Structure 1
Amino acid sequence: MKLSIGIVGLPNVGKSTLFNALLKKQVANVANYPFCTIEPNVGVIEVPDERLPVLAKIANTTKIVPAAIEFYDIAGLVKGASTGEGLGNKFLSHIREVAAIVHVVRLFGDKNITHVSDKLNPEEDIKTIETELILADLETLNKQKEPKSNAPKEAIATYQMAKKVSEQLNQGITARDIKLTDKEKEAIKPLNLLTIKPVIYLFNVSEDQLQSKEETEKKIEAVLTGIKNPSQSSTNHQSLATNHYLYLCSKMEAEIVAFNSQEQQEYLKQYELTESGLNRLIKKAYETLGLISFLTAGTIEARAWTIKKGTLAPQAAGVIHTDFEKGFIKADIVPYQKFVEVGGWVKAREQGLVQTVGKDYVMKDGEVVEFKVNT
């Protein structure tokens, strides 16, 4: 499963500072994550999970393997990127590969760091990038040729959807904000549109702004309200203001990433924070991708396995090994909290806490699982 997030932003917004801080959190042993690739602009980052050390202690193992996400530092996004400015096509090919986008927006003021437009205007910065992505999508859609009448029905459906989405994009509405049925989403999928990808707006603030939370959040809400297209109805617009934004100080994150856990906590207390901005970003990225984790705990390792919400038990088993999906018989499941309360599988079975499920069971986040399979 490709779990990838692309980090985009105009020059001098703090994107490189953020990415370099993320790189310092990169996992030591990437071999544990077969879906990951190692490239200079890619960081393989663990998803913080406080449950794993607890499970490791219960299972008497020292090996912990959290879930992980790839973060791509996508360079070259400037005004005119869709027509080849900056890194142009290279940028576009990179961003097409990711599952979601983190859009870094500069909210901090600093006379020593120039702004690409010579003026701090976060609303316009967001619109600049959204416009480039919309233009790139329109170019993709305009290349679609009308299929012949005897063409496969899927090809006809994709072409019809291309026309529908193109009309909305021409009004400045991103594909993700167009109300589409599941069937329509499936039809448009082969086109791999940039503006249909989920977005997290990441506002890069100063340390002073980090302390003035109420004022900072009001500014952010005003920016997000300002980018809403007037032609969008309130019911048609996905509320990014409430669901898909966060803010941090990338300068501070770059400093504290080298601190040990206790030092970090003491430092964060000054800002009334309980965890770092990077950890909040990683968790938000995981959530935005619609991912959850099921857990395994044995003498070899305690591990979090990544699946999409709605995954059935056999497909979850297949994440561990493809043969497990084919040979799936059943799964024994205990909710994490119950598992911890009784101290492991033996007591869980004695107290009747184990639920045995079959092929139609929909997995939930945080379940401790043992699969029974024919291999």
Structure 2
Amino acid sequence: MSARRKKNDADSGKLLLGRPGNNLKMGIVGLPNVGKSTLFNTLSKLDVPASNFPFCTIDPNKARIPVPDADWEWLCEKFQPGSRVPAFLTIFDIAGLVRGAAEGAGLGNEFLSHIAQVDGIYHVVRVFDDAEVTHVEESVDPVRDLQIIREELLAKDVQNVERNLEAALKVRGDKTKKAEAEMLQKILEVLNSGTSIRHAEWTNKEIEFLNTLFLLTAKPAVVLVNMSERDYLKKRNKHLKKLFEYVQTNMPDDPIIPFSGMVETTLLQIGEEQAAAWCESNKASSALDKIVLAGYKRLNLIHFFTCGADEVKCWTIREGTKAPGAAGTIHTDMEKGFICAEVYSIDALREHETESGVKAAGKLQQKGKTYVVQDGDIMFMKFNPPKASKKK
């Protein structure tokens, strides 16, 4: 049975923070030497530098990571297509921030600009002690580290909002600028209270305006806790309780995922069969799939399927996307000439085995322009192709 999320803010008419569209990216963020590049290496299977000194990573590394999906795998097995295309999540490895980054410390302005270019954040903190892996703050304290990153993102947002507010106040007699100034005042009050933009309540009008500012604390986040192999296998660490309490209080709704860079590196190096045996003997598993899925969901991304003997493909869209917009991810002509979409669920296909069986059971439906696509829909788009231009 497929378990798919069916309700979302977009269904209720609530606008979402962030850029519209489906080409959204996650950035790996944290202090130096907490395991960001090690995580990126294991996610991407690429060999990027992961050295024991601050600012080893300067220009952000980029990778497209397949999004794990058991339904997609089942569809591939069923259709045995010539081409199999999963959903992908784009992830950037961003250099380590330090205290004072918002004021330019440690190339902070450059690195903060890299965060501004992504749509969501993996906050990485470490809870392992290792004398050979230096800590820029000279001790291991994940709550302090997370607080430093939050304070730097908040400080940068305050700078940006103050600059916009100053510009808006200079314009006299303009109702639009006056309304913007009022919203900027509210935004500034929220930031100065220590609250991230994503954790405050906003009207649709305010969200529409916020989305033009590209503020760092508006970006959804996932907290990743890098543990030693020993602590990861035992599922405990002396720092975890305080860290969980801090996140629940200051970063509500931001999920926390423990992982071990050491474990993930080992599993990558020993190969698939040995990795499966290692996981079974240690009663453990890789956290990478969970990390990728958490980032995908925090960006409010879902996907629908197109299926056939030629290809089974996942098409990534933002939650709340209507059928014509989904058609447009396949080809812009499909959106322009959209007629309807034939839609059925994977559960219906499992039950009735073939598309004709689904249709005979009345489980295939035709949906029009107002239909909001659901995660895991199987779709076939009908559209009028564009008319050929007449030759002169």
Which residue in the other structure is 1:33 paired with? none
Matches of 2:356 and 2:272, distance apart in 1: 33
Structure-2 residue corresponding to 1:284: 294
- d(CA) in 2 for partners of 1:327, 1:257: 46
Q: Which residue number in structure 2 is paired with residue 121 of structure 1?
A: 141
User: What is the TM-score of this pair, normalised by structure 2?
Assistant: 0.83
Cα displacement (A) at 1:160: 2.0
- After TM superposition, list the pairs within 5 Å mapping 1:301-340 onto structure 2: 301-340=311-350
Q: Deviations over 1:43-100 (max 9, x none)?
A: 1111112222321233231321011111111114111111111122211211111110
In structure 2, the CA distance between the partners of 1:94 and 1:238, relative to structure 1 (3 Å rule), is: closer
Match for 1:374 among 374, 379, 384? 384
Question: Could you tell me which amino acid in structure 1 is paired with residue 155 of structure 2?
Answer: L
Return the match for 2:158 from 138, 152, 164: 138
Out of 123, 142, 151, the position equivalent to 2:174 is 151
* 1:82 and 1:132 in contact (8 A); partners too: yes
The question of 1:250 aligning with 2:261 is answered yes
Q: Give the 3 Å change call, closer, same or farther, for CA 142–299 of structure 1 in structure 2.
A: same
TM-score normalized by the length of structure 1? 0.87
Alignment of 1:267-278 (within 5 A): 267-273=278-284, 275-278=285-288
> Which residue matches 1:166?
188
Find the counterpart in structure 1 of residue 123 from structure 2: 103
Correspondence for 1:193 among 185, 195, 215: 215
Give, in whole Å, the separation in 2 of the partners of 1:362 and 1:252.
41
**Deviation (angstroms), 1:150:** 4.3
- 2:14 equivalent to 1:14: no
| Identity percentage of aligned residues | 37
For 2:79 and 2:363, locate their aligned partners in 1 and report how far apart those are by CA, in whole Å.
Answer: 17
1:124-147 superposed Cα distances (whole Å, 9 cap, x missing partner): 000111111111111111112225
- Find out whether 1:239 has 2:252 as its counterpart: yes
SS where residue 327 of structure 2 aligns? helix
Stretches of structure 2 lacking an aligned partner (at least 5 in a row): 1-21, 48-58, 386-392
- Name the structure 2 match of 1:31: none
| Range with greater deviation from structure 2 (355-364 or 254-263) | 254-263
- Cα distance between partner residues in 2 of 1:21 and 1:112: 21
Contact 2:199 2:252 in 1 (8 A): no
TM-superposed deviation, 1:104: 0.4
How many pairs were matched up?
350
Q: How much has 1:227 moved relative to structure 2?
A: 5.6
Instruction: Tell me the CA shift for residue 287 of structure 1.
Output: 0.9
Q: What is the distance in 2 between the residues matched to 1:195 and 1:83? A: 17
Segment of structure 1 superposing worse, 184-193 or 155-164: 155-164
**Of 180, 189, 205, the match for 2:227:** 205
